[in-house]
Chains A and B, each alone.
Chain A
Amino acid sequence: MSARITTKQRMQITRQAMPEQAAAARAANFLEVNLGLPERLALLEADRCLQCKDPRCMQGCPVGVNIPKFIDLLTAGKIAEAAQSLLCDNALPAVTGRVCPQETQCEAVCVRAAKGLPVGVGYLERYVADWARDHRDQLPQVRPQPTGKKVAIVGSGPAGLTAAGELARRGHDVTIYEALHKPGGVLVYGIPEFRLPKKIVAQEVERLTAAGVKIECNVVIGRTYTIPELQEKFDAIFIANGAGLPVFMNVPGENYKGVYSANEYLTRINLMAAYDFPRSDTPVLNGQRVAVVGGGNVAMDAVRTAKRLGAQAAMIVYRRTHDELPARAEEVHHAEHEGVKFEFLTAPVEVIGNDKRWVTGMKCQKMKLGEPDSSGRRRPEVIPGSEFVLDCDVVVVAIGTRANPLLTATCPDLKLNKWGNIVADENGQTSIPGVFAGGDIVRGAATVILAMGDGKKSAQAIDTYLAGIPKPAGLTMAA
C-alpha cells in the first residue's frame, strides 16, 4: 500500500453518493436508476478504504472477495489488475455490484462503519466490473488445456453461470441446459431492467460462451432429458434450477382476473417485454391501483415496476413494519422516493372481484407485532375487528417461492428435504455420486451471491471429483 495518503486523510473523506436518475423521471421509465460512480468519485471512495491488515469485509462476503486488494489496485491506477483480481474471486461482479445486499454483508462489518459510513464496496465493485465489461480486450484470455471431462449444468441463473465459468477455466467441457429461451435465470426474468440492465447479463453470458461454455436453451430437464439420461452422457452434473414455484396466499378470490404471482408479473414484463406492448406481443394488465403483497426484493421490484407502468397507486402490503422489510435497504429507499405507498401491519384475507370477476379490492386485516418467533422476528398478530377493504385492480403476490418438483420428480434417487429442496452438503454433493446441486434449489429462495458461492464451491468439488475418475479413452491432448 502506498504512502501517498495517510490514514487520517482517508478518514476525512466522506462516503460518495451514488448518482441516480431523478425520482420523478425514473418512476416513468425502465432505465437503470443508479448511474454508477464517475472515475473521480470512484477513486475518492476507494481512498476511504483503510486497507486493514485483517479485513473484516472479506469475512462478510459470502464468496470471500479480496476486497482491499482490488480497491488498492484501483487506487494505484492499475484498474486492469483490479478487474482481474475481482473476476478471479467473483464471476459476475457487474451483477453483484448492483444486487448484493452489501449493507448486511461486506459493508455491515467494514471497520469504517463503526464510526460513520462504511466503504462503498458495492459501488466500487460495480465500477471496476463495468470497466472490465467495456475493456474485455485488456484482460488476459487464458485457454486451458482441455481435460476431456464433460459436465452438464441445469439452469443458467447465477449458480449455474458461476459454476460454468469455474469449470471451463479448469478445462472441462461444460454444457448448460436452460428451460427458458434466454439464459440468466432470475437475472433476466425476475430482476427488472431499472435495477439490472439485461445487457449486462447478456455480456456476462457472452463472456462464458467465449470461454467455451455451451448453452442450450429450451431444454427442460425432467422433460426433454432426465438426470439419469444426462448421467449417461456427462461425467458430472450440477443442478441449479432455482426455486421457481410461486407460492400463493390461498385466500378466496385469488383466481380472479388481475391477480398475478410476482413471477408471472415480472416475467411478462422483463423476459417477455410486456411494457413495450403492442410492439412486443405479450400483454400485462397495468392497473391504476396495484397492491403488491410481500416485503422482499421481489415485492419491491414488482411495485416499482407497477409504478413505471403508470399505476396511480403502487402499494406494498406487508404484515410487519418498515424495520422488518427483508428487501435491500437501497430498494426500499428508492421505492419510497418513487412514491410507492406502504401499508404496513396489513395482511390480506380475501381478494374481492366484481360480477365479471375482475379484481376490485382486497379485504385486509390490521396486525400488531407480538413476541419474536423462531427466526427472531416479532410475529405479527391479528387485531380482531380490524378488517377493511383496500381498493385495487391488480394484485401481485410476492410472498415467496418453493422448490419446483419438475426435475426432482423424474430423479427418484435424489434425496430431498421435507420442502422438496435438494439435500446437498457444503460442497454441493447430493445423494447421487457425481451429481451436485446449489443455489435456490438447495437453500430455498436466497440471494444471488449465495447462489454464486454455491456454484463456485460445487465447481471446485466437481473438479476434485473429476480428477478421481479415469480420463476418457482416446483423448488426444491437442486443444
Chain B
Amino acid sequence: MHRILARQTLSPNVTRLDVHAPRIAQIRQAGQFVIVHLAENAERIPLTIADSNPETGAISLVIQAVGKSTHELVGLNIGDSIRDVAGPLGHPTEMIAAGHALCIGGGVGTAVVHPIAQGLHQRGVRVTSVIGGRSREWVIFERELQRYGQVVVCTDDGSYGRKGFVTDAAKEILAADKVDMVYAVGPVPMMRAVANLTRGLGVRTIVSLNPVMIDGTGMCGGCRVSLGGETRFACVDGPEFDGHLVNFDELQDRLSTYREFEQRSIACAAGTCRMEKNTSSPA
C-alpha cells in the first residue's frame, strides 16, 4: 500500500499526487515511470515520475483525468492509498553532458519535461524550456522549470505568455541560438510537429511516448511502437526514443483502440449505462 502524502490541483483536470514509494524515490532517474494499480480490478496505469524526494520517500505523479481510472486516481485524498506501485520502469533519459538543451512541454507532458530539465541542469547543461497549454490555467510547472533556466510560456488563446503553439516559439529559439539537443513531451501531434521541425535542422530530438501499457516489463507487447520501421516495446526499450524515427501516425492510431470502451467505462461509473457484459466489438 502506498499512501498519498500530498495532493495539489495544477490545472482544471491535472492533479499532482505525492505518493509514498521510498525505494523508487531513492533510485528513479529522469525519464522513468511507474505503473500504478489502484485496487483489485482497476487498470494498470503508466505514469512518469515528475519528481521525487528521497528523504520523505515521495514520488510525484502528475495525472490528467481523462478516463475512469485516472478520474479515480485524482479523486484520492491525503491519507488514501494506492494498492500497487511498480518501478522505476523504462530507460533513463539520454542526457547530453554539456551545451544547450531545448526542453519542450505541452500540457501534462510538461510534468515529464521537468525531471529532464532538472537532470540536465544538474549536469551543467544550459536549459531553455518552452511550455504551453490551451490557456493560462493549463500551464503547469512554470515555476519549477524556472529554477533550471529560461522558460517561455505559450498559450493557444494568448491568455498568458505568448499566443501560439510551442513549436512557433521553439522555431525561433532554434533559429536564434545553437541547440545541441531537443527534448519534447506532449500530445502526439505536438511531438510530431517538433520532430518535423528539428529533422530539417539536424538537431537530435528525444520524445517520450505514451502507448497503451499493461505490465510495463516487456511481457505483453501492447506498447509496441514502430521506430524506423522496426518494432520496439516502449516500456522496456523506451519510453524515450529518437523523435526522427518514430511512426507518430501509428502511435496515435493505436492510442485510439479503446476509445469506445473508455466512454462506456465513464458512462457506467456515472451510472448511465446498464452493467452489461463485455459485448462491444471492434468497429
Contacts and interface: CB of A to CB of B under 8 A. Distances in A.
Partners in one complex: yes
Interface of A: 179-181, 189, 217-220, 223-225, 244-246, 248, 254-255, 257-258, 260-261, 263-264, 267-268, 272-288, 309-310, 356-359, 393-394, 404-406
A126 B7 CA distance: 51
Contact-residue bracket for chain B: 35 or more
17 contacts: A179-B217, A224-B88, A245-B218, A258-B282, A260-B222, A263-B219, A263-B220, A264-B221, A268-B214, A276-B41, A281-B69, A284-B278, A286-B279, A286-B280, A393-B282, A404-B236, A406-B236
Given A267-B219, A283-B261, A255 B89 contact: no
Contacts of A225: 23
B253 A257 contact: yes
A218 B217 contact: no
B224 interface: yes
B89 A223 contact: yes
Contacts of B258: 283
A181 B265 contact: no
Contacts of A217: 84, 86
A279 B219 contact: no
Interface of B: 23-24, 27, 37, 41-44, 68-69, 83-89, 214-222, 224, 226, 231, 236, 250, 253-254, 256-258, 261, 264-265, 268, 273, 275, 277-283
Given A179-B86, A223-B87, 10 more contacts: A179-B215, A180-B217, A268-B214, A276-B41, A280-B42, A281-B43, A282-B214, A286-B281, A404-B217, A406-B218
Contacts of A359: 282
A404 B44 CA distance: 20
A220 to B, nearest CB: 6
A195 to B, nearest CB: 20
Q: Which of B23, B24, B220 has the most CB of A within 10 A?
A: B220
| Residue with the highest number of chain B CB atoms closer than 10 Å, among A179, A274, A281, A359 | A281
Nearest to A275: B278
A278 B283 contact: no
Given A272-B214, A277-B261, A310-B279, A264 B222 contact: yes
A95 B94 CA distance: 45
Contact of B283 (A224, A272, A309, A358): A358
B23 A244 contact: no
B172 to A, nearest CB: 36
Contacts of B268: 278
Given A181-B44, A272-B44, A255 B84 contact: no
B219 A309 contact: no
Most chain A CB inside 10 Å of its own CB: which residue of B224, B258, B281: B281
Nearest to B235: A406
